[in-house]
Structure 1
């Protein structure tokens, strides 16, 4: 297994170019084809017609969007040429929460970004990153909105709890894990864990990964009674110098609300390194 088709979501935010650079670096590593999908938030024209005097504003807004889209498209093709990578450009007028998962289902890896509360242009729809993780059916590599990431996956940390989602994430991340110099399987032992069998948590999945030729170790931490798993895993990633976290994305829809697991919610809000999530 390898990543032969990579989809990168592009918009007019300040993180679009760094996100593209991350996707191209991965494409060079895996000899992959890159699809640049441009999808932004577009308010419906009707909102500009319900108030007098807003028609001109809508025309100006549309013209600005066309200019921005053309600039990003030129950048995309220039960066493809510079990187020596094959790819294509796609523009969609659908909502990003609809079109990105749709296109994602025919690729091997999706590259997107964490929400940036300081950049209005990064907003492409409510709960976009989490919706993408939960609905794409493919692994999603989320790039934090702060920081520069010269390497992704040199030292990968697997957040392991034995769940279906974590299992999916590990196997979706195998191309990156096999290319890593070092992999750490991080587990958090709770009181309920101690009541179960006496064994090293994470040892079985570490053995599975090692059979793929991966240099892997297991790191197990005991959780204080008031500790949050997400915060402990973030701290652990920082302590060991990981430049990638691999984890399951937990959540489900309840009516029209997306309910996320605690660790998933923590990482989506506070990630400090790129995170590969699968659901």
Structure 2
């Protein structure tokens, strides 16, 4: 995980996103690259925002880009992270572009990075936008590290896997293997509910142990509210500082209709979530 893309936007949890990316970068001496992201003009017009006319102004868009770049540079300066000079043994950062990029544009650019770090979406006016997460998840072909509103103190020391036997979860685990083999503890939690066709949690644990991961099977208690709540409670009880799961086993449309585990975890998780589709 030597390259991390950070879509930068002026939302309430941007500091947590950068902190989470830096924790990952410190583990692998990674290069982090910032890019300014903003809603498409069409999105503003469709939503009938008062700012829709202002977004058309090139100078205003450049101001947004400059502000995003300064946010990243200021954060990295406070953390004593420098721009790359050579192939060193420390995290570095850079910036790309001088134009505001759409969510889809970030998803396309993210295809050359090992992981993309975004904030957990929310409903508030200054919360990270769900459209950014969905664009990088569905259009990049790369894993996404979703930062919680409050930055974690550690990342990847104790990992929980939400296992449901699906291809999306298997792909997430494959992308996360560098983290899994470094972790002190890897606990596999089976998603409550009817089992889907696929290997069992114990079979997954054996497979991960062949790679040197400290993998074992955990227990998820009965959920009073939902399977997602039960998973998050189990992860919290384990002291997990990262949750790995598949992204949207169902289509996005069906996800909106049925409100399944992924959407609920995205709404409630207070630990970083590593996800691929």
TM-score (norm 2): 0.80
Aligned runs of 1:1-279 on 2, under 5 Å? 3-41=1-39, 43=41, 65=64, 68-75=67-74, 78=77, 81-82=80-81, 84-91=90-97, 92-96=99-103, 98-120=104-126, 122-123=128-129, 127-145=131-149, 147-188=150-191, 190=193, 201-221=200-220, 228-250=226-248, 251-252=250-251, 254=253, 262-279=260-277
Deviation at 1:112, TM superposition (A): 0.8
Structure number with higher strand proportion: 1
Unaligned runs of 5+ in 1: none
Residues 216, 277 of structure 1: CA spacing in aligned structure 2 closer, same or farther, 3 A cutoff?
same
SS of residue in 2 equivalent to 1:27 = helix
Larger Rg: 1
Partners of 1:222 and 1:66 lie apart in 2 by 46
TM-score (norm 1): 0.79
Q: Is the 8 A contact 2:121 2:127 kept in 1?
A: no
Name the Cα RMSD after superposition.
3.4
**Poorly superposed stretches of 4+, deviation over 4 Å:** 57-64, 257-261
Q: Is the 8 A contact 2:189 2:217 kept in 1?
A: yes
Deviation at 1:187, TM superposition (A): 0.8
SS of residue in 2 equivalent to 1:179 = coil
